[in-house]
Amino acid sequence: MKKSLVLYFSVYGSTETFAREIAHQTGADLLEIIPETPYDNNRNHYNALARLAKKEHDENKRPFIKNKINLNGYDTVFIGYPMWWYTFPMIIYTLLESYDFSGKTVIPFNTHMGSGDGGTYQTVRQFLPNSRILKGLPLEMSVAENRSEKAVSEWLKSLDY
């Protein structure tokens, strides 16, 4: 029996809401990527988070993942993240470099504030050459937080999922 996992990283909850909708519509398991050092999730401190994200990016950091992620038994893995500085957060690099997605179908999705996927879906393809990568879905934060049901449903249908 094929089994799916929705794996996501979220700080403000937008990507988490999006991930929960995917899991709801697909019946997939849901698992958050938890950083060893938590990020400040207070939206009033957005500028500080943006500075930290840029610093991690500029220094090519690989933040540690606190929780163990077991991909065994999953045929399909959805990977979700917010866009930070026109790419995914550095913890997603940690994920892609630390876990074996070989032979799995990987479906990226992301939240953004105007940058779409920022080319990250192509980056996922480059990092996971032994995986089948399907078309991702970028959703603007406000859509992801408030009205993603239809967009997710149409996307999943387009994937024949």
Q: What is the pLDDT of residues 16-66, one digit of tens each?
A: 999 999 999 999 999 999 999 999 898 889 888 889 989 999 999 999 999
Give the pairing type, strands 137-140 and 105-112.
Answer: parallel
Confidence of residue 77 (pLDDT cuts 50, 70, 90): very high
The closest alpha carbon to 114, from 96, 80, 141, 136, belongs to: 141
pLDDT at 1 over 80: no
pLDDT (average), residues 70-88: 94
Superfamily of domain 4-158: Flavodoxin domain (3.40.50.360)
**Residue from 160, 155, 119 nearest 139 by CA:** 155
For residue range 101-143, what is the model confidence (pLDDT) as tens digits? Answer: 999 999 999 999 989 999 999 999 999 999 999 999 999 998 8
Give the whole-angstrom CA distance, residue 76 versus residue 138. Answer: 18
Intra-chain end-to-end CA distance of the chain, in Å: 15
Extract the tokens encoding 8: 């996501």
Domain ranges, ordered by start, for the chain: 4-158
Q: Identify the pLDDT of residue 82.
A: 96
Average pLDDT over residues 75-93: 94
**How much is the pTM?**
0.95
